[in-house]
Chains A and B, each alone.
Chain A
Amino acid sequence: MNYRFRLIRIFTFLGGIYFFLQYVLPAKLGPFTFGKYHEEISNGFILMGAMAVGLGLINLLMVHGSRLVFRRTGWVNSAALLLAMALMIVITAADWLRTQKIAAQAAGLDMLAQFSRRISSDYQSQRTDVLPFWERNRLLLEAGSSQLAVVYESLEAAANLAGRSTDPALKTRLSAGLQETAAHLKETESLLKELELESSTASSMSPNEDLARALGRLQVSWRELLGLQYASSITRKVYDFLYQGLFMSLGAAMFALLGFYIASAAYRAFRLRSAESGLMMAAALVVMLGQIPLGVWIWYGFPELRLWLLQIPSTAASRAIEMGAAIAGLVMAFRMWLSIEPESFR
């Protein structure tokens, strides 16, 4: 037995026993905690899956790249595929970067809110290993002022966009977003000014609590506004066109083809060639008649008969198939786990 196979065998066995015990045993059993590194292990699998996506990409590049380079039959299709792939990668990356940037910008306000809340809680729990609350409030004021300046700038940009926009729906949404964000901004500014900045022995800390809540509200409305601004950018429009406009529509078109294929497949299946196909046709006829009003008009018992056919013989057969497959799958999984495999797979 070579080392490669031995290594695979060991990893398979350990992986199998880990997932089995992780499912069977409680989270904590004596000194052992089985689920302790479950997230890390699951992340490892995700990582492997991500690496496998790279395999797919390499395969596509090799198959279609060589066809393009050597001008083999269908090279134009390959060129279109590679071009579309490259375009989609670039646009998706740009979209991802932009949404990340929006999230990061909004997260700045969230951090300030958390800081404000922390100043209050630390004061109430009388922590002594941190700066006094008034000094921390000064820092909060400094950071908050610079963050609000960024919000102001983006409000100006949004107002310009609303002025330029020819899309009435977008214009309305931008104006509403602007109004809401401006109101929250004003509220936050006034609360920042109310922070206690002088040394004091007693404080209610209510301005900090109020500021934290106001920053939270500002964060939500500003994020929505940034999203609206981004929605009208060229990147987003190209992304929407490629993904929603082309990809999703083409997928739906493929799905719609099923309707025609079902008709042609049904025609072939219902040609009376044997007793079995006759039986199948009779059953299908009853099911169809039970489904439509015409069937009830012919005989009122069709819907009930249809239901019986679907619920009793059909369900029984379906369960038998599923059960057989489940047992066979379990046995196969067991063989995989213990690496009891035929020579051909070693």
Chain B
Amino acid sequence: MTGLEHATLGVLLLIGLIIGPVLVYIERARRDRNLYVRRLPGVDAIDEAAGRSAEIGKPLVFTSGLTSIGPILYACLGVLFYVARKAARYKLRLLAPQCDPTVMAVIEETVRDAYRSEGRLAFFDPQSIRFLSDEQFAFAAGYMGLVQREQIAAAFLFGSFAAESLLLAEAGQQVGAMQVAATTSPEQVAFFICSCDYTLIGEELFGASAYLSREPVQLGSLYGQDRAKLVFMVLIVIGVLIATWNQSLAPYFWGPGAGLIPDVMYWLHYELWAT
């Protein structure tokens, strides 16, 4: 692999192992849309939250927090699209406070598309997509004020969050809003679990959109990435076994084959991974 600077054979192999199953399962999902996806209570709660908002006549809030343009935002858009469709169908007010102007443009377009797909574009209010501030705590202060003033019925906190996560979630908690949160940041998961009614952890954020839309591409991706994870799990187990053998057991064995595992490990590490 002469000439490559960062990619090694091992890295390319791993990318192949992740992407390969995804492509296979997307194709399979196109043929069979009834692929099973386990229920996520947090995702089921989205309908409940929309219903509650319709009952009490108060708005819904969807925020993607500090998420910038990237895969996490894209995963959130699927859920936003679903929530916005519900809002359009039941004539609910959907507020989407923003802290990143580029994300705001994407969010506005997604909500507009959702209203259009429900045939209710006239009900779409561009001012419901509000830019608050690109400063973390100024955004949090703006969000808390908005939640208090509007006395929201439900809040969806999907995306990347940092220290402001608890401020946002507690603001919803104080007005008695039903809250569903989803983040890939392990540090913030604990805060959301404490303050929200439902929390999607890590990759569940990516699965939510597939679960809601049952689109073949998203379903296939979900299936494919699960298989890819399986490959990683097997690799981790093999790695643990090899490391355990080398460090704890190999010194007690002699004879032919005793040096085989260290050799394999050396090859994996220096020849395949770092080539």
Contacts and interface: CB of A to CB of B under 8 A. Distances in A.
A, B from the same assembly: yes
Interface of A: 23-27, 29, 48-49, 52-56, 59-60, 62-63, 66, 74, 247, 250-251, 254-255, 257-258, 261-262, 264-266, 268-269, 317-318, 320-325, 327-336, 340-345
A265 B170 contact: yes
Interface string B1-39: 001111100000001001100100010000000000000
Given A63-B130, A258-B163, A331 B228 contact: yes
Interface in B196-251: 201-203, 205-207, 213, 215-218, 221, 224-225, 228-229, 232
6 contacts: A329-B71, A330-B18, A331-B225, A340-B217, A345-B81, A345-B113
B72 A269 contact: no
B3 A345 contact: no
Interface stretch (B86-94, B186-194, B265-273): B186-194
A325 B100 CA distance: 22
A63 B98 CA distance: 13
B166 A323 contact: no
Nearest to A342: B215
A343 B214 CA distance: 11
A341 B74 CA distance: 10
A264 B170 CA distance: 9
Specify which of A26, A317, A335 lies most central, judged by the most chain B CB atoms within 10 Å of its CB: A335
B120 to A, nearest CB: 16
A55 B105 CA distance: 8
A255 B221 contact: no
B71 A332 contact: yes
Given A332-B206, A342-B218, A327 B184 contact: no
Contacts of B229: 323-324, 327
B22 A334 contact: yes
A137 to B, nearest CB: 49
Interface stretch (B43-51, B56-64, B136-144, B255-263): B136-144
A317 B184 contact: no
Contacts of B170: 261, 264-265
Nearest to A341: B217
A345 B203 contact: no
Given A255-B163, A340-B217, A329 B72 contact: yes
Contact of A29 (B3, B130, B137): B3
Given A268-B194, A321-B184, A327-B18, A258 B131 contact: no
Contact of A258 (B78, B166, B232): B166
Given A74-B149, A265-B166, A327-B203, A24 B7 contact: yes
B127 A63 contact: yes
B135 A344 contact: no
7 A-B pairs with least C-beta separation:
A342-B215, A56-B101, A332-B71, A328-B206, A321-B202, A324-B203, A325-B184
B201 A321 contact: yes
Contacts of A336: 71, 74
A340 B195 CA distance: 36
A251 B71 contact: no
Given A250-B141, A328-B225, A331-B18, A24 B5 contact: yes
A329 B184 contact: yes
A265 B19 CA distance: 40
Given A59-B101, A323-B229, 15 more contacts: A25-B5, A53-B134, A56-B101, A56-B104, A59-B129, A63-B130, A251-B135, A264-B170, A322-B186, A324-B229, A332-B72, A332-B74, A333-B70, A342-B213, A345-B110
A48 B102 contact: yes
B206 A325 contact: yes
Contact of A62 (B127, B203, B205): B127
B106 to A, nearest CB: 10
Contact of A335 (B15, B213, B217): B217
A52 B102 contact: yes
Nearest to B103: A52
Nearest to B102: A52
A122 to B, nearest CB: 40
Contacts of B163: 255, 258
B75 interface: yes
B104 A59 contact: yes
A328 B203 contact: yes
A269 B218 CA distance: 34
